[in-house]
Each structure stands twice: as C-alpha cells, then as structure tokens.
C-alpha cells in the first residue's frame, strides 16, 4: 500500500483527508512542517508521496531523508519553497494545485485596496483609542480611477473583473495579451513604464521569476504617481522592501496593501525563534524593514492569507487528492518541474 505523509495539516483538513485516504493508502497526518532543523521521523522516511503547504521549507537536507520519495503533492500554487533542482536530479515529481484561489485572492487584493484608500483599518484603530481626526481619514474613490494590473492570469483576470465593476479604467502588463479581457473589461495592455506612470492603484498578480524579482525598485517607485497605492498578494520578492519603505517615507507613493513580504518567514516561521542563527544579514535586514513597514499608517500588512477561504481550501484538498490518485495510477497532473 502506498505510504503518504501529509504535513502542515490544519484541523479543518483532517476529516476530508481521513475520508479520502482511509482503506486506500497507508497515510499519516501531522500539523508539523518540514524544515532543516528537525529530522524526519523514522516512520515517515520511506513514504512514496508527501504533501505539504508553503509553511514547509523543503530543501535538500530535508529531501535526502526520504528514501523512496516519488511525488511531492503541494497544497499550494507556489513552489519556491521546494528545492526543484534536487527533485529533478532524483526524479521526484512536484505537483501543485493551480486555480484554487483565483476569486479568493482577487477579492482579498481588492479589499486591501479599498482598506488603504478609504483608511478603514486606520479609522478603526483611531476609533478604538478615541483619538479621531477626521482630516487624517479623508479617502479616495475608486470609480473613474485607473487600476494597473501586473499579471493578468487567472487571479489578475478576476481582479480586472472587480475593477471593471467599480467603473475603473484598467491597464494591464503581461507577457501576452488576452483578447477576451480587452472585450469584456476594456483592459488596455501597456508597457511597464506606462503602467507605472498612469496608474492610481497597482495590484500584483504575476508568478515570481528571476526576471521580475524586485521589479518594483527605487526607479519604479519614482515613476509612479505620488497618489498611487500598491497592492501585493503575489510574492514579496516582487518588491524591493528598502525601496518601498523609502518611497513611502519620502511620499513618492501614497500607500501599500501587502499580504506578502520579502523574507516573511522570519516573522511567521517559529524555526527562526528556535534557532536565531538562521538569520543572515539579508534576512535580518528584511525583518527590520518589515517591522518598520508595519508601523506606518498608510500601510496594511496581513499574514499571507489572501487564499484563505473555505471554498479555496476545499478546492486545494480536492485537487491534491486528484493529483495523488492519478499519480498512483500512472498519470502526472499539474507538474511544475
């Protein structure tokens, strides 16, 4: 019987995974994450398949402990937490769960945009402390403004639909153009500099690549409107944190809504508290900058939860089990390596 170990399992996932695996697989469910600090338990090491979320850090030191591993079934779209080079060397297939959170992430990004431009969280905090200055809470309407969408794939398309419903003009930047989006939502595809200089709001929905890492840097922020707000629910590394902090402090842009950060794991991952020596100069600098960003009134930061809806989680589980079942039958779906 095929052995499967599911890591990073939340309480809400247990019942579904038990139902789908009972009597079919030799399986283990654990809320523990994979990381380089702890050895893989002996009873897990001969697993043919493992499944994990982005909270696991699956590097070479972790992977080499699995002696019979053939498949990593990710319960996420992103896979930058997996050592793909090692997997390719060893013939380990890595599959993800695409398209599970298109609406969830787009809606959350739109919510962040509204929150920042209407100063909802700021006003809520002011109200709690009873220190209210209405002049500091003047917001901006969305209707008639220009939304720049970086990456018009499944999530970016949903964001464009929402923006169109709010009577916004939509500029798009992507490696290819989608004719249907032009027709449905009047998306105007432009180059990156044009999007920067003409957008009132910019929302990031592109996958992270070597080419677009730090695409929002010092030079990019200087090209944006001083009234512009940037929203990032994609990957933290799209934005150079130091440049963002400086742009906000120097009032080169008006605000930011961030569900992802560079080196966000140093804040959310308890491994960094267990072994503080894991912090190198780069991650330490990013951690300081991230905590400084949190203190700015024109910035909203959330803990990478844009995907986190009941509907999206159910789709994750269904796709994960489909990937696993098909793999056992000899069919590879949603392969990323």
Q: Which of 317, 322, 325 is nearest to 25 (CA)?
A: 325
- Residue 236 Cα distances to 209, 240, 274, 318, angstroms: 12, 8, 23, 27
Q: Domain ranges in the chain?
A: 3-100+310-328, 102-301
Domain 102-301 class, CATH top level: alpha beta
Stretch (H or E) spanning 258: strand 255-258
CATH T-level topology, domain 3-100+310-328: Rossmann fold (3.40.50)
pTM of the model: 0.88
Which residues share a beta bridge with 18?
none
Please identify every residue annotated as catalytic. 235, 264, 304
Q: 294-324: per-residue pLDDT in tens?
A: 999 999 999 999 999 999 999 999 999 999 9
Q: Which of 300, 311, 322 is nearest to 112 (CA)?
A: 300
> Do the first three CATH levels of 3-100+310-328 and 102-301 match, i.e. the same topology?
yes
Q: 237-296: per-residue pLDDT in tens?
A: 999 999 999 999 999 999 999 999 998 877 766 666 566 666 777 778 888 899 999 999
């Amino acid at each position: 019987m095929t052995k499967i170990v599911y890591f990073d399992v939340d309480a809400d996932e247990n019942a579904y995974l038990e139902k789908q695996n009972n009597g079919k697989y030799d399986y283990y469910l654990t809320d523990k994450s994979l990381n380089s600090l702890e050895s893989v338990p002996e009873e897990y090491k001969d697993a043919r398949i493992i499944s994990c979320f982005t909270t696991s850090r699956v590097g070479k030191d972790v992977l080499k402990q699995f002696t019979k591993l053939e498949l990593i079934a990710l319960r996420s779209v992103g896979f930058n937490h997996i050592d793909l080079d090692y997997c390719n060397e060893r013939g380990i297939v890595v599959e993800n769960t695409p398209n599970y959170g298109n609406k969830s992430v787009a809606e959350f990004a739109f919510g962040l945009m509204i929150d920042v431009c209407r100063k909802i969280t700021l006003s809520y905090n002011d109200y709690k402390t009873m220190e209210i200055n209405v002049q500091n809470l003047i917001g901006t309407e969305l209707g008639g403004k220009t939304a720049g969408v970086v990456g018009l794939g499944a999530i970016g398309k949903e964001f464009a639909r929402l923006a169109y419903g709010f009577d916004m003009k939509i500029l798009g930047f992507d490696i290819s153009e989608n004719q249907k989006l032009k027709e449905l939502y009047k998306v105007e595809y432009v180059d990156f500099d044009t999007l920067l200089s003409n957008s009132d709001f910019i929302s990031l929905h592109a996958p992270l690549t070597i080419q677009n890492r730090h695409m929002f840097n010092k030079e990019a922020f200087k090209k944006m409107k001083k009234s512009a707000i940037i929203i990032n629910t994609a990957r933290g590394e799209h934005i150079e944190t130091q440049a963002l902090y400086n742009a906000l402090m120097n009032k080169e842009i008006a605000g930011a809504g961030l569900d992802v950060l560079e080196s966000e794991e140093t804040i959310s991952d308890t491994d960094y508290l267990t072994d503080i020596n894991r912090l190198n100069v780069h991650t330490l600098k990013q951690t300081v900058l991230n905590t400084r960003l949190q203190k700015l009134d024109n910035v909203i930061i959330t803990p990478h939860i844009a995907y986190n809806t009941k509907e999206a989680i159910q789709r994750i589980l269904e796709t994960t089990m489909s990937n696993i079942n098909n793999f056992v039958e000899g069919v590879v779906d949603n392969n990323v390596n």
